[in-house]
Amino acid sequence: MRIGIIGAGNIGGALTRRFRAAGHDVAVANSRGPETLAALAAETGAAAVSVTDAARDKDVVIVTIPEKHIPDLPPDLFAAAGNAVVIDTGNYYPQQRDGRIDAIEAGMPESRWVAEQLGRPVVKAFNNIYARHLLERGQPAGATGRIALPVAGDDAAAKAVVIRLLDDIGFDGVDAGSLSSFAPSLRESGRRVSERSSPELAGKVAIVTGGGRGLGRAIAEAYLRAGARVVVTAARERAEVDAVAEAWGRERAVAVLADVTDPAACDAVVEHAVRAFGAVDVLVNNAGRGMKYVSEHFLDHPTQFWDTDPDAWRLVIETNVNGPFFMARAAVRWMLAHGRGGSVVNVSMNYDTMKRRGFSPYGPSKAALESASVIWAQELEPHGVRLNVLLPGGATETGMIPAGVASEARARLLRPEIIAPPAVYLASDRSAHLTGYRLVATEWSAERPDGRPAREGIGA
Protein backbone atom coordinates (compact mmCIF):
# COMPACT_ATOMS: atom_id res chain seq x y z
CA MET A 1 0.00 0.00 0.00
CA ARG A 2 0.98 3.64 -0.39
CA ILE A 3 1.18 4.95 3.16
CA GLY A 4 1.76 8.56 4.21
CA ILE A 5 2.87 9.22 7.80
CA ILE A 6 2.54 12.74 9.21
CA GLY A 7 4.69 12.93 12.30
CA ALA A 8 8.08 11.30 12.80
CA GLY A 9 8.22 11.04 16.58
CA ASN A 10 8.33 7.77 18.49
CA ILE A 11 5.16 6.26 16.99
CA GLY A 12 5.63 7.76 13.53
CA GLY A 13 9.23 6.57 13.37
CA ALA A 14 8.29 3.08 14.55
CA LEU A 15 5.48 2.80 12.01
CA THR A 16 7.79 4.00 9.24
CA ARG A 17 10.26 1.26 10.10
CA ARG A 18 7.66 -1.49 10.46
CA PHE A 19 5.67 -0.70 7.33
CA ARG A 20 8.78 -0.37 5.21
CA ALA A 21 10.01 -3.73 6.54
CA ALA A 22 6.62 -5.20 5.55
CA GLY A 23 7.11 -4.01 1.98
CA HIS A 24 4.81 -0.98 1.91
CA ASP A 25 5.57 2.24 0.01
CA VAL A 26 5.99 4.82 2.80
CA ALA A 27 6.33 8.60 2.68
CA VAL A 28 7.04 10.37 5.98
CA ALA A 29 6.78 14.03 6.92
CA ASN A 30 7.20 16.27 9.92
CA SER A 31 6.75 19.96 10.72
CA ARG A 32 10.43 20.79 10.20
CA GLY A 33 10.82 19.73 6.58
CA PRO A 34 12.04 16.71 4.60
CA GLU A 35 15.71 17.54 5.05
CA THR A 36 15.44 16.78 8.78
CA LEU A 37 14.29 13.22 7.98
CA ALA A 38 17.29 12.25 5.86
CA ALA A 39 18.60 9.75 8.41
CA LEU A 40 15.24 7.99 8.81
CA ALA A 41 14.80 7.89 5.02
CA ALA A 42 18.30 6.45 4.53
CA GLU A 43 17.73 3.82 7.23
CA THR A 44 14.33 2.63 5.99
CA GLY A 45 14.07 3.50 2.32
CA ALA A 46 11.01 5.66 3.04
CA ALA A 47 10.60 8.92 1.13
CA ALA A 48 11.04 12.10 3.17
CA VAL A 49 8.41 14.55 1.91
CA SER A 50 6.42 17.62 2.84
CA VAL A 51 3.29 17.29 4.97
CA THR A 52 1.11 17.96 1.92
CA ASP A 53 2.89 15.31 -0.15
CA ALA A 54 2.49 12.78 2.67
CA ALA A 55 -1.27 12.93 2.06
CA ARG A 56 -1.18 13.12 -1.73
CA ASP A 57 -2.37 10.05 -3.68
CA LYS A 58 -2.06 7.67 -0.74
CA ASP A 59 -4.10 4.62 0.23
CA VAL A 60 -3.61 5.33 3.92
CA VAL A 61 -2.58 8.49 5.76
CA ILE A 62 -1.48 8.18 9.39
CA VAL A 63 -1.65 11.34 11.49
CA THR A 64 0.58 10.85 14.52
CA ILE A 65 1.17 14.29 16.03
CA PRO A 66 0.08 15.85 19.34
CA GLU A 67 -3.59 16.84 19.49
CA LYS A 68 -2.66 20.47 20.05
CA HIS A 69 -0.94 20.61 16.65
CA ILE A 70 -3.82 19.10 14.64
CA PRO A 71 -5.35 22.56 13.87
CA ASP A 72 -1.97 23.68 12.48
CA LEU A 73 -2.09 21.23 9.58
CA PRO A 74 -2.82 22.73 6.14
CA PRO A 75 -6.56 23.25 5.63
CA ASP A 76 -6.40 21.63 2.18
CA LEU A 77 -4.26 18.71 3.36
CA PHE A 78 -6.57 16.06 1.95
CA ALA A 79 -7.58 17.84 -1.26
CA ALA A 80 -5.51 15.36 -3.32
CA ALA A 81 -5.88 12.39 -1.01
CA GLY A 82 -8.75 10.71 -2.86
CA ASN A 83 -10.36 7.94 -0.81
CA ALA A 84 -7.42 7.50 1.55
CA VAL A 85 -8.11 5.92 4.93
CA VAL A 86 -7.02 8.36 7.64
CA ILE A 87 -5.69 6.94 10.91
CA ASP A 88 -5.48 8.97 14.12
CA THR A 89 -2.96 7.57 16.60
CA GLY A 90 -3.18 10.34 19.18
CA ASN A 91 -4.27 10.60 22.79
CA TYR A 92 -5.36 13.80 24.53
CA TYR A 93 -3.03 14.84 27.35
CA PRO A 94 -4.39 18.14 28.71
CA GLN A 95 -1.95 18.54 31.59
CA GLN A 96 1.20 17.01 30.21
CA ARG A 97 1.19 18.33 26.65
CA ASP A 98 -1.92 19.53 24.83
CA GLY A 99 -3.47 22.11 27.11
CA ARG A 100 -7.22 22.34 27.42
CA ILE A 101 -9.32 21.57 24.32
CA ASP A 102 -12.82 22.70 25.22
CA ALA A 103 -14.74 20.41 22.87
CA ILE A 104 -13.00 17.30 24.20
CA GLU A 105 -13.43 18.46 27.78
CA ALA A 106 -17.14 18.89 27.04
CA GLY A 107 -17.40 15.21 26.07
CA MET A 108 -16.58 14.98 22.36
CA PRO A 109 -14.49 11.85 21.69
CA GLU A 110 -11.00 13.01 20.87
CA SER A 111 -10.88 11.30 17.49
CA ARG A 112 -14.20 12.89 16.51
CA TRP A 113 -12.58 16.22 17.32
CA VAL A 114 -9.57 15.26 15.19
CA ALA A 115 -11.88 14.27 12.32
CA GLU A 116 -13.68 17.60 12.62
CA GLN A 117 -10.38 19.49 12.41
CA LEU A 118 -9.18 17.47 9.42
CA GLY A 119 -12.50 17.50 7.61
CA ARG A 120 -12.17 13.74 7.07
CA PRO A 121 -13.45 10.63 8.91
CA VAL A 122 -10.73 8.88 10.87
CA VAL A 123 -10.00 5.44 12.28
CA LYS A 124 -8.49 5.28 15.76
CA ALA A 125 -5.53 2.90 16.04
CA PHE A 126 -1.98 2.58 17.39
CA ASN A 127 -2.88 4.83 20.33
CA ASN A 128 -2.53 2.20 23.03
CA ILE A 129 0.83 0.62 22.34
CA TYR A 130 4.32 1.91 23.05
CA ALA A 131 6.61 2.62 20.12
CA ARG A 132 9.19 0.11 21.31
CA HIS A 133 6.50 -2.58 21.41
CA LEU A 134 5.60 -1.81 17.80
CA LEU A 135 9.24 -2.38 16.93
CA GLU A 136 9.87 -5.44 19.10
CA ARG A 137 6.68 -7.36 19.81
CA GLY A 138 5.11 -8.14 16.45
CA GLN A 139 4.70 -11.88 15.89
CA PRO A 140 3.70 -14.14 12.99
CA ALA A 141 0.03 -14.87 12.47
CA GLY A 142 -1.16 -17.61 14.80
CA ALA A 143 1.68 -17.23 17.30
CA THR A 144 0.76 -17.83 20.93
CA GLY A 145 0.45 -14.55 22.81
CA ARG A 146 0.28 -12.38 19.72
CA ILE A 147 -0.81 -8.91 20.82
CA ALA A 148 -4.22 -7.67 19.70
CA LEU A 149 -4.90 -3.95 19.31
CA PRO A 150 -8.30 -2.24 19.12
CA VAL A 151 -9.38 -0.44 15.97
CA ALA A 152 -12.29 2.01 16.25
CA GLY A 153 -14.17 3.93 13.60
CA ASP A 154 -17.50 4.44 11.88
CA ASP A 155 -16.54 2.93 8.49
CA ALA A 156 -16.26 -0.86 8.39
CA ALA A 157 -14.25 -0.84 5.15
CA ALA A 158 -11.71 1.60 6.56
CA LYS A 159 -11.35 -0.44 9.75
CA ALA A 160 -10.75 -3.57 7.68
CA VAL A 161 -7.85 -1.84 5.91
CA VAL A 162 -6.31 -0.90 9.26
CA ILE A 163 -6.75 -4.43 10.64
CA ARG A 164 -4.95 -5.77 7.58
CA LEU A 165 -2.06 -3.34 8.17
CA LEU A 166 -1.81 -4.45 11.79
CA ASP A 167 -1.55 -8.04 10.62
CA ASP A 168 1.20 -7.06 8.19
CA ILE A 169 3.40 -5.85 11.06
CA GLY A 170 2.65 -8.67 13.47
CA PHE A 171 -0.43 -7.72 15.48
CA ASP A 172 -4.06 -8.82 15.58
CA GLY A 173 -6.66 -6.13 15.01
CA VAL A 174 -9.87 -6.14 17.03
CA ASP A 175 -12.92 -4.21 15.81
CA ALA A 176 -13.75 -2.04 18.83
CA GLY A 177 -16.86 -0.44 17.35
CA SER A 178 -17.49 3.21 16.59
CA LEU A 179 -15.43 6.16 17.78
CA SER A 180 -18.17 7.05 20.25
CA SER A 181 -18.52 3.58 21.77
CA PHE A 182 -14.76 3.12 22.03
CA ALA A 183 -13.99 6.55 23.41
CA PRO A 184 -14.11 5.64 27.13
CA SER A 185 -11.40 3.01 26.68
CA LEU A 186 -8.97 5.13 24.70
CA ARG A 187 -7.17 6.49 27.72
CA GLU A 188 -6.98 5.87 31.42
CA SER A 189 -5.99 8.99 33.37
CA GLY A 190 -3.54 9.96 30.65
CA ARG A 191 -1.92 6.49 30.40
CA ARG A 192 -2.07 4.04 27.52
CA VAL A 193 -4.54 1.23 27.96
CA SER A 194 -3.08 -2.27 28.10
CA GLU A 195 -2.59 -4.47 25.08
CA ARG A 196 -4.89 -7.49 24.99
CA SER A 197 -5.74 -10.65 23.08
CA SER A 198 -9.11 -11.78 21.74
CA PRO A 199 -9.90 -15.50 22.07
CA GLU A 200 -13.59 -15.06 21.17
CA LEU A 201 -13.77 -18.24 19.11
CA ALA A 202 -11.55 -20.38 21.34
CA GLY A 203 -12.83 -23.96 21.37
CA LYS A 204 -14.77 -23.65 18.11
CA VAL A 205 -14.05 -25.61 14.94
CA ALA A 206 -14.87 -24.00 11.59
CA ILE A 207 -14.87 -25.16 7.99
CA VAL A 208 -14.27 -22.43 5.40
CA THR A 209 -14.69 -23.50 1.77
CA GLY A 210 -12.62 -21.63 -0.75
CA GLY A 211 -10.38 -20.65 2.15
CA GLY A 212 -7.12 -20.21 0.27
CA ARG A 213 -7.71 -16.77 -1.20
CA GLY A 214 -9.94 -13.70 -1.21
CA LEU A 215 -12.92 -13.57 1.11
CA GLY A 216 -12.45 -17.16 2.27
CA ARG A 217 -8.89 -16.59 3.37
CA ALA A 218 -9.83 -13.35 5.12
CA ILE A 219 -12.55 -15.22 7.05
CA ALA A 220 -10.33 -18.21 7.86
CA GLU A 221 -7.52 -16.02 9.16
CA ALA A 222 -9.96 -13.92 11.20
CA TYR A 223 -11.28 -17.10 12.81
CA LEU A 224 -7.76 -18.27 13.55
CA ARG A 225 -6.84 -14.93 15.11
CA ALA A 226 -9.95 -15.22 17.29
CA GLY A 227 -8.88 -18.62 18.59
CA ALA A 228 -10.79 -21.09 16.40
CA ARG A 229 -9.37 -24.18 14.74
CA VAL A 230 -10.11 -24.14 11.03
CA VAL A 231 -10.33 -26.50 8.07
CA VAL A 232 -9.77 -24.62 4.80
CA THR A 233 -10.72 -26.16 1.48
CA ALA A 234 -9.90 -25.55 -2.15
CA ALA A 235 -11.05 -27.32 -5.28
CA ARG A 236 -7.75 -27.17 -7.15
CA GLU A 237 -5.12 -24.82 -5.70
CA ARG A 238 -3.60 -26.98 -2.97
CA ALA A 239 -0.68 -24.59 -2.43
CA GLU A 240 -3.01 -21.78 -1.32
CA VAL A 241 -4.71 -23.70 1.48
CA ASP A 242 -1.44 -25.36 2.45
CA ALA A 243 0.00 -21.87 2.97
CA VAL A 244 -2.74 -21.08 5.48
CA ALA A 245 -2.15 -24.31 7.38
CA GLU A 246 1.61 -23.84 7.40
CA ALA A 247 1.35 -20.25 8.63
CA TRP A 248 -0.79 -21.22 11.60
CA GLY A 249 0.48 -24.72 12.30
CA ARG A 250 -1.28 -28.03 11.79
CA GLU A 251 -2.65 -27.97 15.33
CA ARG A 252 -4.72 -24.89 14.39
CA ALA A 253 -5.40 -25.19 10.66
CA VAL A 254 -5.82 -28.10 8.26
CA ALA A 255 -5.90 -27.87 4.46
CA VAL A 256 -8.17 -30.15 2.43
CA LEU A 257 -8.48 -30.43 -1.33
CA ALA A 258 -12.20 -30.91 -2.03
CA ASP A 259 -14.62 -30.12 -4.83
CA VAL A 260 -17.84 -28.88 -3.22
CA THR A 261 -19.85 -30.02 -6.24
CA ASP A 262 -19.16 -33.63 -5.15
CA PRO A 263 -21.38 -34.73 -2.21
CA ALA A 264 -18.91 -37.41 -1.19
CA ALA A 265 -16.10 -34.87 -1.05
CA CYS A 266 -18.22 -32.64 1.19
CA ASP A 267 -18.91 -35.55 3.54
CA ALA A 268 -15.16 -36.18 3.62
CA VAL A 269 -14.43 -32.55 4.60
CA VAL A 270 -16.69 -32.87 7.64
CA GLU A 271 -15.11 -36.22 8.53
CA HIS A 272 -11.67 -34.63 8.21
CA ALA A 273 -12.64 -31.77 10.55
CA VAL A 274 -13.99 -34.18 13.16
CA ARG A 275 -10.95 -36.41 12.89
CA ALA A 276 -8.55 -33.47 13.23
CA PHE A 277 -10.37 -31.30 15.78
CA GLY A 278 -13.24 -33.37 17.19
CA ALA A 279 -16.23 -31.31 16.03
CA VAL A 280 -17.82 -28.93 13.54
CA ASP A 281 -19.28 -25.74 15.01
CA VAL A 282 -19.20 -23.36 12.04
CA LEU A 283 -19.52 -23.79 8.29
CA VAL A 284 -18.77 -20.93 5.90
CA ASN A 285 -19.98 -21.62 2.35
CA ASN A 286 -17.64 -19.29 0.51
CA ALA A 287 -16.38 -21.35 -2.43
CA GLY A 288 -17.74 -19.93 -5.65
CA ARG A 289 -17.25 -19.42 -9.36
CA GLY A 290 -17.73 -16.02 -10.97
CA MET A 291 -18.34 -14.49 -14.36
CA LYS A 292 -14.78 -14.83 -15.60
CA TYR A 293 -15.58 -18.50 -16.26
CA VAL A 294 -18.06 -17.21 -18.84
CA SER A 295 -15.79 -14.50 -20.23
CA GLU A 296 -12.63 -12.71 -19.07
CA HIS A 297 -14.18 -9.54 -20.51
CA PHE A 298 -17.50 -9.68 -18.69
CA LEU A 299 -17.06 -6.24 -17.12
CA ASP A 300 -16.74 -4.30 -20.37
CA HIS A 301 -18.29 -6.75 -22.89
CA PRO A 302 -21.13 -8.60 -21.14
CA THR A 303 -22.09 -11.98 -22.56
CA GLN A 304 -25.75 -12.45 -23.46
CA PHE A 305 -27.26 -15.49 -21.80
CA TRP A 306 -27.94 -17.22 -25.13
CA ASP A 307 -24.24 -16.95 -26.00
CA THR A 308 -23.11 -18.52 -22.71
CA ASP A 309 -21.40 -21.87 -23.01
CA PRO A 310 -23.57 -24.53 -21.29
CA ASP A 311 -20.51 -26.01 -19.57
CA ALA A 312 -19.63 -22.62 -18.05
CA TRP A 313 -23.24 -22.16 -16.95
CA ARG A 314 -23.27 -25.60 -15.36
CA LEU A 315 -19.93 -24.99 -13.57
CA VAL A 316 -21.14 -21.76 -11.92
CA ILE A 317 -24.52 -23.16 -10.90
CA GLU A 318 -23.08 -26.39 -9.55
CA THR A 319 -20.44 -24.58 -7.49
CA ASN A 320 -22.56 -21.68 -6.21
CA VAL A 321 -25.88 -23.49 -5.63
CA ASN A 322 -25.21 -27.21 -5.32
CA GLY A 323 -21.92 -26.72 -3.46
CA PRO A 324 -23.46 -24.90 -0.46
CA PHE A 325 -26.26 -27.48 -0.39
CA PHE A 326 -23.86 -30.42 -0.30
CA MET A 327 -21.62 -28.81 2.33
CA ALA A 328 -24.51 -27.64 4.52
CA ARG A 329 -26.12 -31.07 4.24
CA ALA A 330 -22.92 -32.76 5.43
CA ALA A 331 -22.15 -30.32 8.25
CA VAL A 332 -25.72 -29.97 9.53
CA ARG A 333 -26.20 -33.74 9.71
CA TRP A 334 -23.18 -33.94 12.02
CA MET A 335 -24.36 -30.97 14.12
CA LEU A 336 -27.84 -32.43 14.56
CA ALA A 337 -26.55 -35.91 15.36
CA HIS A 338 -24.32 -34.55 18.13
CA GLY A 339 -26.70 -31.92 19.51
CA ARG A 340 -24.07 -29.17 19.57
CA GLY A 341 -25.96 -26.53 17.62
CA GLY A 342 -23.86 -24.55 15.18
CA SER A 343 -23.65 -21.69 12.71
CA VAL A 344 -23.82 -21.82 8.92
CA VAL A 345 -22.78 -18.74 6.94
CA ASN A 346 -23.60 -18.47 3.23
CA VAL A 347 -21.52 -15.87 1.38
CA SER A 348 -23.54 -13.90 -1.14
CA MET A 349 -23.50 -10.68 -3.20
CA ASN A 350 -25.36 -7.39 -3.60
CA TYR A 351 -28.97 -7.54 -4.77
CA ASP A 352 -28.23 -5.09 -7.62
CA THR A 353 -25.51 -7.34 -9.02
CA MET A 354 -27.87 -10.32 -8.97
CA LYS A 355 -30.02 -8.46 -11.48
CA ARG A 356 -27.25 -6.78 -13.47
CA ARG A 357 -27.28 -7.20 -17.23
CA GLY A 358 -24.60 -9.63 -18.37
CA PHE A 359 -24.19 -11.29 -14.95
CA SER A 360 -25.90 -14.56 -15.78
CA PRO A 361 -25.42 -17.22 -14.42
CA TYR A 362 -23.51 -15.71 -11.46
CA GLY A 363 -26.34 -13.40 -10.39
CA PRO A 364 -29.04 -16.10 -10.61
CA SER A 365 -26.82 -18.54 -8.70
CA LYS A 366 -26.54 -16.16 -5.74
CA ALA A 367 -30.26 -15.36 -5.87
CA ALA A 368 -30.92 -19.09 -5.63
CA LEU A 369 -28.53 -19.38 -2.70
CA GLU A 370 -30.29 -16.56 -0.84
CA SER A 371 -33.66 -18.20 -1.40
CA ALA A 372 -32.25 -21.49 -0.12
CA SER A 373 -30.78 -19.67 2.89
CA VAL A 374 -34.17 -18.31 3.94
CA ILE A 375 -35.72 -21.78 3.68
CA TRP A 376 -32.85 -23.58 5.41
CA ALA A 377 -32.80 -21.08 8.30
CA GLN A 378 -36.48 -21.76 8.98
CA GLU A 379 -35.96 -25.51 8.91
CA LEU A 380 -32.89 -25.39 11.15
CA GLU A 381 -34.22 -23.00 13.78
CA PRO A 382 -36.06 -25.62 15.88
CA HIS A 383 -32.85 -27.66 16.05
CA GLY A 384 -30.59 -24.94 17.45
CA VAL A 385 -28.54 -24.47 14.29
CA ARG A 386 -28.53 -20.94 12.91
CA LEU A 387 -27.96 -19.92 9.31
CA ASN A 388 -27.27 -16.43 8.02
CA VAL A 389 -26.13 -14.70 4.84
CA LEU A 390 -23.00 -12.53 4.66
CA LEU A 391 -21.68 -10.37 1.83
CA PRO A 392 -18.94 -7.74 1.48
CA GLY A 393 -21.24 -5.02 0.14
CA GLY A 394 -19.57 -4.22 -3.17
CA ALA A 395 -17.04 -5.36 -5.74
CA THR A 396 -14.11 -6.87 -3.86
CA GLU A 397 -10.53 -7.59 -4.84
CA THR A 398 -10.68 -11.37 -5.18
CA GLY A 399 -9.82 -13.94 -7.80
CA MET A 400 -13.18 -13.28 -9.46
CA ILE A 401 -11.86 -9.95 -10.78
CA PRO A 402 -10.05 -10.38 -14.13
CA ALA A 403 -6.34 -9.66 -14.16
CA GLY A 404 -6.74 -7.02 -16.85
CA VAL A 405 -8.80 -4.58 -14.77
CA ALA A 406 -7.24 -1.10 -14.82
CA SER A 407 -5.30 -0.08 -11.71
CA GLU A 408 -7.62 2.90 -11.15
CA ALA A 409 -10.66 0.63 -11.06
CA ARG A 410 -8.86 -1.96 -8.94
CA ALA A 411 -7.97 0.71 -6.37
CA ARG A 412 -11.70 1.30 -5.80
CA LEU A 413 -12.40 -2.34 -4.96
CA LEU A 414 -13.11 -3.38 -1.39
CA ARG A 415 -10.43 -5.36 0.38
CA PRO A 416 -11.41 -8.93 1.34
CA GLU A 417 -10.65 -8.21 5.00
CA ILE A 418 -13.77 -6.07 5.24
CA ILE A 419 -15.77 -9.26 5.72
CA ALA A 420 -13.78 -10.46 8.74
CA PRO A 421 -15.51 -8.64 11.66
CA PRO A 422 -19.09 -9.69 10.79
CA ALA A 423 -17.85 -13.19 9.94
CA VAL A 424 -16.37 -13.53 13.43
CA TYR A 425 -19.60 -12.20 14.91
CA LEU A 426 -21.67 -14.83 13.08
CA ALA A 427 -19.37 -17.59 14.32
CA SER A 428 -19.39 -16.34 17.90
CA ASP A 429 -21.84 -16.86 20.74
CA ARG A 430 -22.73 -13.18 20.49
CA SER A 431 -24.92 -14.08 17.50
CA ALA A 432 -26.53 -17.12 19.15
CA HIS A 433 -29.94 -15.39 18.86
CA LEU A 434 -29.62 -14.68 15.14
CA THR A 435 -30.83 -16.82 12.25
CA GLY A 436 -32.25 -16.04 8.82
CA TYR A 437 -30.55 -12.65 8.62
CA ARG A 438 -28.45 -10.92 5.99
CA LEU A 439 -25.32 -8.98 7.03
CA VAL A 440 -23.57 -6.52 4.70
CA ALA A 441 -19.96 -5.90 5.72
CA THR A 442 -19.84 -2.29 4.50
CA GLU A 443 -22.83 -1.51 6.73
CA TRP A 444 -21.82 -3.64 9.70
CA SER A 445 -20.90 -2.24 13.11
CA ALA A 446 -20.52 -3.75 16.57
CA GLU A 447 -23.34 -1.47 17.78
CA ARG A 448 -25.80 -2.63 15.08
CA PRO A 449 -24.50 -6.08 14.19
CA ASP A 450 -27.58 -8.04 13.14
CA GLY A 451 -28.30 -6.77 9.63
CA ARG A 452 -31.76 -7.35 8.15
CA PRO A 453 -34.00 -10.39 7.72
CA ALA A 454 -32.92 -12.29 4.61
CA ARG A 455 -36.58 -13.01 3.77
CA GLU A 456 -37.00 -9.39 2.63
CA GLY A 457 -35.81 -10.70 -0.73
CA ILE A 458 -34.03 -9.19 -3.71
CA GLY A 459 -36.52 -6.32 -4.03
CA ALA A 460 -38.01 -4.59 -7.00
From the list 92, 351, 362, 437, the catalytic residue is 362
Catalytic annotation on 130? no
- Give the 3-state secondary structure of the chain: CEEEEECCCHHHHHHHHHHHHCCCEEEEECCCCHHHHHHHHHHHCCEECCHHHHHCCCCEEEECCCHHHHHHCCCCCCCCCCCCEEEECCCCCHHHHHCCCHHHHCCCCHHHHHHHHHCCCCEECCCCCCHHHHHHCCCCCCCCCCCEEEEECCCHHHHHHHHHHHHHCCCEEEECCCHHHHHHHCCECCECCCCECCCCCCCCEEEECCCCCHHHHHHHHHHHHCCCEEEEEECCCHHHHHHHHHHHCCCCEEEEECCCCCHHHHHHHHHHHHHHHCCCCEEEECCCCCHHHCCCCCCCCCCCHHHCCHHHHHHHHHHHHHHHHHHHHHHHHHHHHHCCCEEEEEECCCHHHHCCCCCCCHHHHHHHHHHHHHHHHHHHHHHCEEEEEEECCCCECCCCCCCCCCHHHHHCCECHHHHHHHHHHHHCHHHCCCCCEEEEHHHCCCCCCCCEEHHHCCCC
* Catalytic machinery residues: 362
